[in-house]
C-alpha cells in the first residue's frame, strides 16, 4: 500500500494546479463571458514544441538515472570484496585483529548510508574511504602477494563511485533547458486559457488533460534528475534510487560481526 501511495504522490500533488487552471477557464468562459482569442487548432505547433522539449529533457535525465541505479549495488560489491580479502588474509596468517578491521570497514558502509540520509557529510565519507588504507597495511603484513593491491583497487573504485554520486547530486541537467521548459509550460497553459473550443465540455477536458501532462512531466523530469535526494522528512519520492543492495549488505556484515 505504501509503494502505491508513493507511485501516485506526484500525480496527486499535481492535480491542484490542474484544478486551478480549469477553474480559471470556467471563470473566463462562464463568469466573464470571455470565449477565447484564438482557435485551439492554432496553438498546436506550440504544444508540439513543448512535447519535443519534454522528450529531449527526459532522455537526458534518464541516462544519468540508469547509471545511478547501479551505484548502490556497485558500492556494496566493492566493500564486500574488501571484506572477503580481509577474511582471507586473516585465515592465511591471522596476526591482526579481524573484528577490528571488519568494524572499521563496516564504518565505511554506515557513513555512506548516513550520507544519503543527510546525517553525514561528504568529507566524513571520504575520510572513511581513506581509512581503508590502514586495512591494506594490515593485509600487506601477511605477505599474501597481490591482495594489498586488490584492496587498493577496490578502494579507488569505491572513491570513484562515491565521487560520481556527489556529482549527480550537485549538478542539474542543462539548467537553461529547465528554464525554457518551465516558461513554455506557462505559455501553453496561458494559450489554453485564451483559446476557443467547439463546446465547453470539450474545452474543460482538453485544458485539464494538457495541463496535467505538462506540469506532471516537468515535475517528473526534475525528480529523475535528482535520484539521490532522499528527503529529511521521510517522504520518499518515487524517483529516488532504492538503496536496498547497500542496506542489505550492511545488515549481513553486521550479522557476521
Evaluate whether residue 222 is within a structural domain: yes
E strands in the chain:
38-39, 195-196
The domain tally of the chain equals: 1
Say how far apart CA 175 and CA 244 lie, in whole Å. 31
Evaluate whether residue 37 is within a structural domain: no
> Residue 54: which of 200, 246, 185, 232 has the closest Cα?
185
Q: Tens digit of pLDDT per residue, the chain (257 long)? A: 444 667 788 888 899 999 999 999 999 888 888 777 888 888 888 899 899 989 988 888 888 888 888 999 999 999 999 998 888 887 777 677 788 888 989 999 999 999 988 888 999 999 999 988 888 887 777 766 666 677 888 899 999 999 999 988 888 777 788 888 899 999 999 999 888 888 888 888 999 999 999 999 999 998 888 888 776 555 566 678 888 899 999 999 888 87
**Which residues constitute the domain of residue 58?**
45-192+210-256
> Residue 243: which of 128, 121, 114, 60 has the closest Cα?
114
User: Whole-model pTM?
Assistant: 0.80
Evaluate whether residue 59 is within a structural domain: yes
Judge contact between 181 and 53, C-beta under 8 A. Answer: yes
Evaluate whether residue 187 is within a structural domain: yes
Amino acid at each position: 500500500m505504501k509503494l502505491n501511495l508513493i507511485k501516485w504522490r506526484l500525480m496527486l500533488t499535481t492535480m491542484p494546479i490542474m484544478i486551478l487552471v480549469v477553474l480559471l477557464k470556467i471563470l473566463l468562459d462562464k463568469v466573464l463571458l470571455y470565449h477565447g482569442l484564438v482557435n485551439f487548432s492554432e496553438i498546436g505547433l506550440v504544444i508540439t514544441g513543448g512535447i519535443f522539449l519534454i522528450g529531449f529533457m527526459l532522455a537526458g535525465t534518464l541516462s544519468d538515472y540508469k547509471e545511478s541505479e547501479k551505484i548502490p549495488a556497485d558500492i556494496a560489491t566493492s566493500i564486500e570484496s574488501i571484506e572477503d580479502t580481509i577474511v582471507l588474509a586473516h585465515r592465511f596468517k591471522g596476526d591482526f585483529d579481524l573484528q577490528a578491521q571488519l568494524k572499521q570497514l563496516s564504518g565505511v558502509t554506515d557513513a555512506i548510508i548516513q550520507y544519503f540520509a543527510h546525517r553525514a557529510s561528504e568529507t566524513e565519507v571520504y575520510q572513511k574511504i581513506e581509512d581503508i588504507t590502514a586495512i591494506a597495511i594490515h593485509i600487506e603484513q601477511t605477505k599474501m602477494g597481490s591482495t594489498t593491491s586488490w584492496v587498493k583497487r577496490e578502494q579507488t573504485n569505491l572513491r570513484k563511485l562515491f565521487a560520481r554520486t556527489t556529482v549527480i547530486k550537485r549538478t542539474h541537467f542543462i539548467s537553461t533547458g529547465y528554464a525554457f521548459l518551465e516558461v513554455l509550460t506557462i505559455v501553453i497553459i496561458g494559450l489554453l486559457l485564451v483559446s476557443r473550443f467547439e463546446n465547453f465540455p470539450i474545452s474543460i477536458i482538453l485544458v485539464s488533460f494538457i495541463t496535467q501532462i505538462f506540469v506532471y512531466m516537468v515535475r517528473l523530469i526534475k525528480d529523475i534528475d535528482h535520484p539521490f535526494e532522499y528527503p529529511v522528512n521521510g517522504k520518499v519520492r518515487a524517483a529516488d534510487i532504492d538503496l536496498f543492495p547497500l542496506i542489505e549488505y550492511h545488515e549481513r556484515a553486521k550479522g557476521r560481526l
